[in-house]
Amino acid sequence: MTPPTGPELALPDGFLMGASTAAHQVEGNNVASDMWALEHGPEGIVEEPSGDAADSFHRWPEDMDLLSELGFNAYRFGIEWARVEPEPGRISQAALAHYRAMVRGAVERGLTPVVTLHHFSSPRWFSERGGWREPDAPDLFAAYTRTALEAVGTDGGHVATINEPNMMALMYTLRRLAAERGRSAMDSGRQDGGAAFDAATVEPDARVTDVLIEAHRRSAAILGDAGLRAGWTVANQVYQAEPGAEEIAAACARPREDVFLEAARDDDWIGVQAYTRHRIGADGPLPVPEGAETTLTGWEVYPEALAEAVLHTSGIVGPRVPVIVTENGIATGDDARRIAYTRQALSGLARVMEQGVDVRGYFHWSALDNYEWGSYRPTFGLIGVDRATFARTPKPSARWLGALARSGRIPGPSAPARTVGTAAR
């Protein structure tokens, strides 16, 4: 049951209320990317390949029309590096024109575009030469950023350089361990109990972490010189220490989250991406509590994670850097549950905003039911997509959240959010 909330919170002028997608997960046929190569590799490492995805490469005008008609005022979407530069140094002018049309199309529909330059997938050639482990990766990403500016122009406003760099760095560790154990990285990182080892017990690759931070800073400087507001988005883990486990929680948070937040202290904004929590005991990460409700991804249903993640993030980056919630949602086939989860998450967000945290936007994950890195089974979308016809059907949650966006209000504060990870800072 959703707890009662107080009066609705009026959102500040300019507050962004929208939904998010990632290029590889919705566009389809991203054949020059490393993810496409993984999906079609000899190991059979995914449940199913992305294929046509939601065909948003062609149907983006319909997607944007729906979001605008529903009442949203912003849309976060990605530019796919593998389409822009399918071979080293060869720039696709057609791809640039496509993304330029998307940015302008969003503005024409009253949607503020928040553009992500890198959302997990890279050009295949980039990964085959070593990817983010190579010392010249920041040079290559900086060059791509300059090229992407031709598509973003001055309409992009907010641009995210790299999505969830902490998860990117973790994937490099998982791939190394998987190779050592003869398993795939994607299979080893599963959260449904099929993993050979728990991703929560391994650390992101330290070298990749350093390279990603340098790449972000180089990219952000280029974007800033162009008059755009640059930031990146971090996968917030919401570590909760059991009594006596504070130092262990700090040791978990430091390499997996906090170093990436600290790197954002000079940015124009920071993206918070929160879904659930991770409990830490004396011996490390604890399993989901017995009897707890879980999602289609096996995560504990814990909407309070959003408020706790925002508080933790703000405490690290400092008050000068505003927060944008760039992802928050739930994988469920029960849309009433999606509404209940989101209502409670927004109530917590209202609480921390009343406490003085500078929050500038909320983007639900995701706009569409899409490809979730190996499977279409987890449905996060506000809008359903028919896999055969690609017909879009807004769910009741889309109309409910869109109405909130149109009203400029969100559910009022619920119980105070816990201050999470203080010892981990």
Pairwise CA distance, residues 242 & 287, whole Å: 13
Looking at the predicted structure, is the pLDDT value of residue 5 above 80? no
The pLDDT of 32-40, averaged and rounded, is: 96
Looking at the predicted structure, is the pLDDT value of residue 4 above 50? no
Question: Greater confidence, 156 or 378?
Answer: 378
Residue 180, pLDDT score: 82
User: pLDDT by residue (tens digit) across 112-140?
Assistant: 999 999 999 999 999 999 999 999 999 99
Contact status, residue 76 vs residue 114, Cβ threshold 8 Å: yes
Pairwise CA distance, residues 361 & 210, whole Å: 28
Cα dihedral across residues 76, 77, 81, 85: positive or negative: negative
Pairwise CA distance, residues 81 & 91, whole Å: 10
417 pLDDT band (50/70/90 cuts)? low
Q: Looking at 38-47, 200-209, 242-251, which range is the least confident one?
A: 38-47
Residue 213, pLDDT score: 98
Q: Any idea which residue has 């729906």 for tokens? A: 66
Cα dihedral across residues 394, 396, 399, 405: positive or negative: negative
Is 327 marked active-site?
no
Cα 259 to the chain's mean position, in Å?
17
How much is the mean pLDDT over the chain?
A: 92
User: pLDDT by residue (tens digit) across 141-169?
Assistant: 999 999 999 999 987 789 999 999 999 99
Pairwise CA distance, residues 39 & 58, whole Å: 22
Residue closest to 303 by CA, chosen among 330, 285, 279:
330
The pLDDT of 101-110, averaged and rounded, is: 97
Domain borders along the chain are 9-424
Pairwise CA distance, residues 322 & 272, whole Å: 10
DSSP notation for 200-269: GGS---HHHHHHHHHHHHHHHHHHHHTT-EEEEEEE---EEEPTT-HHHHHHHHIIIIIHHHHTTTTSS-
Residue closest to 341 by CA, chosen among 351, 331, 355:
331
Residue 420, pLDDT score: 44
150: three-class secondary structure by DSSP: helix
Pairwise CA distance, residues 329 & 392, whole Å: 19
Residue 269, pLDDT score: 98
Catalytic residue among 164, 257, 308, 327: 164
Question: Greater confidence, 199 or 135?
Answer: 135
Residue 291, pLDDT score: 97
DSSP notation for 103-127: HHHHHHTT-EEEEEEESS--BHHHH
414 pLDDT band (50/70/90 cuts)? confident
Class of domain 9-424: alpha beta
Query: Radius of gyration over alpha carbons of the chain, in Å?
Result: 20
* The Cα angle at residue 380 between residues 270 and 85, in degrees rounded to 5: 60
Query: What b-and-e string marks burial along 258-278, b requiring 16 or more CB atoms within 10 Å of the CB?
Result: bbbbebbeebbbbbbbbbbbb
353: three-class secondary structure by DSSP: helix
Residue 425, pLDDT score: 25
Looking at the predicted structure, is the pLDDT value of residue 1 above 70? no
Residue 36, pLDDT score: 97
Residue 179, pLDDT score: 80
Pairwise CA distance, residues 213 & 30, whole Å: 26
Residue 197, pLDDT score: 44
Contact status, residue 2 vs residue 56, Cβ threshold 8 Å: no
Whether the ω angle into residue 407 lies within 30 degrees of 0, i.e. cis, is no
